[in-house]
Chain A
Amino acid sequence: MDKLIISPSPHVHGGLSTNRLMGDVLVALLPAFAVSVWVFGVSALLVTAVAVASCVLFEAAIQKWALKRTDTLLPAVLTGVLLAFNLPSNIPLWLVAVGSFVAIAIAKMSFGGLGRNVFNPALVGRVFLLVAYPVQMTSFPEVVDSTTGATPLAMAKGALRSGQSVSDIMPNLDYLQMSLGQMSGSLGEVAAIALLLGGVYMLIRRTITWHIPVAVLGSMAVMTGVMHASHPETYMDPMFHLLSGGAILGAVYMATDYVTSPMTAWGKIIFGVGIGVVTVVIRVWGAYPEGMSFAILLMNACVPLIDKAFRPRRFGKNHHRK
């Protein structure tokens, strides 16, 4: 008989893989992608295709020639899709490639590649484009006849700044239409219901836990709810905030990125609440109409500290005393 194979225990593996987890997220994004193609047409397809292709290309090239290590490429596919979901459908395609380069080469591979980056790569790509090419990043195609291509958040912020009250703005908003994708915005932020559907799928598949999405959206709702209740004419209501500006996309798909989010349940809740609060602060008092991207990146930077501060509950700590 040949020599027996030996190894330390355990001798079986549960079959979970990085590819399966990434695949789950991609499947969860399909409904929102379908809505996006329905709303924006073939340009949504093009932007996504260019983002995915260039992300995978940069990732593979840097793995091969710089890191000299091969990791799975599916996370790069996901980064591409998420970046595309954060872009307007009428963005020049060469800018999509630039954003992909920043996301993969600078935000991910320069930290050492898969699992080693501090910031969410897709969001770094998006924020770079937003700062460097503000015009291309904030002109959206017209979706609904009555609107002029401004996102609801930008429209509301502009109106409130110019002295209008909430009740002046409300007639221009239709929450049902917004939740179905009939509003201006980036590819993936427009379809709240489709995004939530994917979130439920990921919860069922245990790809993500509820902590981060609930903490982000919950804290946003509570904060804007209190503000709206005390000054109903100055501050928009919570529903408006949850349906607009990529709140759901950010809370469910971007903030839950494994690499850049905390490990423990309490850590995730703190992280999520931080994102929710910072988002509302930027949206209401900041210069930008939306704050989700900045809030997530800011909290990404806090993750190592959160992981240190919020350790799991150890067994035997609250034992029964006789």
Chain B
Amino acid sequence: MLKTFPLGGVHPSECKLSRQSAIRYMPVPEVVTIPLAQHIGAPALPIVKKGDRVVVGQLIGRSETFVSSLIHSSVSGVVTTVDMFEGPQGRRQMGVTIKVEGDEWSPEIDRSPEVVRECTLSPSEILKKITEAGIVGMGGATFPTHVKLSIPPGKTAEYLIINGVECEPYLTADHRVMLERGEEVLIGVELLARCLGVRRTYIGVENNKPDAIEHLRKLASKFDNIRVVPLKVQYPQGGEKQLIAAITGREVPSGALPVDVGCVVQNVGTALAVYEAVQKNKPLIDRVVTVTGQGMVSPANFMVRIGTSMREVVEFAGGMPADGAKVVCGGPMMGRAVSNLEAPITKGASGLLIFDRKDALRKPEGSCIKCGKCVEVCPMGLEPYLLNVLSRKHRWEECEAAAAADCIECGSCSYICPANIALLDYIRWGKSEVMKAIRARNKR
């Protein structure tokens, strides 16, 4: 029996169209716009100005706040503007625009292809390097990695769990990284484990990637205490709380953090970034992006420099299909629809998914027949039908009592609803009102 999480779940068609496509390096674009807020926490402040020359890997943004992340240039060239630009959902935000000249890398970065396993750094030195490389959670949540690795006093991390689940349909970025960069990922994992001082490390991979499981298992035999765990193909297997429960049987209580049950979860892409930062001195300046969709001529995986416009990435992948009508940044279950294709690829952008008009539109809402399917599939054990009604009636206190704040926004309820009710739209609203109320209470 394959391990899985204890409650709910759905199984959307996997549609991993680009699984066979090896990661290709996308050419360096002519212009990049690097946002100063690509992470959860305080935005970085620019430390370059118009006219400055920068090289690949040079620091261009920083913040004194702990929960924040450093921003580096992904190209070499001249800074043309440090100003507001329109983000992928139309919201204006700060970014550094650089006109590319050549491809000159910062001299500290080791660009040789050889894999370096030897590491004599202490845990605090590893953490320092990770902080300086501006690494964030690359599964999409973009939580600063150094914050996650700084275990609060009085708590201990027993297990490091590496998320290679990639339970979102269509996305194959992590799958390709595990296949092609497996050894580097495992060295990154080893570094993370050393940094945390954990007893054991698990790598969770959904069982629809048997090649990756076999490959990592073979490699893991050369490492101590790394165990590859095949998991049932069930969404949202890669949700942090679900993954911890599937592998360790421990459930993170409502409002608590993974470390409260002795676990730290990191994505495989993050592990690769950690390897590059610690062993190669390379800050986080590029990432693997899956460009896919039923209408795409050749769905594929690309290594893209942070700051490259989404339009250029789509074009490099063969261009928008004639009837392409919707672009989703991330997976189809949790990704965000893009209104502005000129916006840049950021550290958390795991994929660009293109839908044609027919697939882009929702079906009209019908009447709730109380079938209970939403309750059945909710991985958090909530009552989506109830939260939906409470939210629509603005009954926020009751939303809080019904644990709206526990919703992980996985979308299983909306996905299964036979009446096409936009359950998650309204639950999200209720959740944000509840969180607002909780924050206001805590301030007082």
Contact = CB atoms under 8 A, between A and B. Distances in A.
Interface string B397-417: 000000100100101001111
A263 B367 CA distance: 16
Contacts of A262: 372
A114 B383 contact: no
A6 B337 contact: yes
A264 interface: yes
Q: DSSP class of B's interface residues: helix, strand, loop or mixed? A: loop
B183 to A, nearest CB: 33
A71 to B, nearest CB: 5
A63 B248 CA distance: 52
Contacts of A320: 248-251, 261
A171 interface: no
B252 interface: yes
A12 B251 CA distance: 28
A12 B416 CA distance: 10
Nearest to A7: B337
Nearest to B380: A315
B252 A115 contact: no
Interface stretch (B24-32, B142-150, B209-217, B322-330): B322-330
B371 interface: yes
Given A16-B416, A264-B375, A71 B367 contact: yes
A4 B417 contact: no
Given A113-B367, A315-B7, A5 B337 contact: yes
A72 B366 contact: yes
In this complex, the member of B89, B383, B385, B424 whose beta carbon has the largest number of chain A beta carbons within 10 angstroms is: B383
A299 B360 CA distance: 42
Contacts of A21: 369, 371, 418
A62 B419 CA distance: 20
A12 to B, nearest CB: 4
A10 B334 contact: yes
A16 B373 contact: yes
Contact of B12 (A6, A8, A14, A18): A14
Nearest to B357: A5
B372 A258 contact: yes
A319 B261 contact: yes
Contact of A319 (B89, B251, B370): B251
A13 B414 CA distance: 7
A114 B369 CA distance: 7
Nearest to A6: B337
Given A4-B341, A20-B418, A316 B253 contact: yes
B337 A11 contact: yes
A9 B366 contact: no
Interface in A1-31: 1-14, 16-18, 20-21
Contacts of A263: 370, 372, 375, 383, 385
Interface in A53-104: 71-72, 75
A161 interface: no
B440 interface: no
Interface string B314-348: 00000010000111100011111111010000000
Given A16-B416, A72-B366, A10 B372 contact: no
Given A5-B337, A75-B369, A10 B252 contact: no
A318 B367 CA distance: 35
Interface string B1-23: 00000110010100000000000
Interface string A264-287: 100000000000000000000000
B325 A5 contact: yes
Contacts of B335: 9, 11
Contacts of B371: 21, 258
B383 A311 contact: yes
A312 B383 contact: yes
Contacts of A114: 366-367, 369
B379 interface: yes
Nearest to B341: A4
B252 A319 contact: yes
B241 interface: yes
Contacts of A20: 418
In this complex, the member of A4, A7, A258 whose beta carbon has the largest number of chain B beta carbons within 10 angstroms is: A4
21 contacts: A4-B338, A5-B326, A7-B362, A8-B422, A9-B333, A9-B409, A11-B333, A14-B10, A16-B418, A18-B367, A72-B366, A116-B367, A259-B369, A261-B370, A264-B372, A311-B383, A312-B383, A315-B251, A315-B254, A319-B250, A320-B261
Interface of A: 1-14, 16-18, 20-21, 71-72, 75, 113-116, 209, 258-259, 261-264, 311-320, 322
Instruction: Give 8 nearest A-B pairs by CB, closest first.
Output: A10-B411, A319-B251, A320-B250, A6-B337, A263-B372, A314-B381, A115-B367, A316-B253
Given A21-B371, A322-B262, 18 more contacts: A6-B338, A8-B424, A8-B425, A9-B335, A9-B411, A11-B326, A11-B360, A14-B10, A114-B367, A115-B367, A115-B368, A258-B372, A259-B370, A312-B7, A315-B7, A316-B380, A317-B251, A317-B381
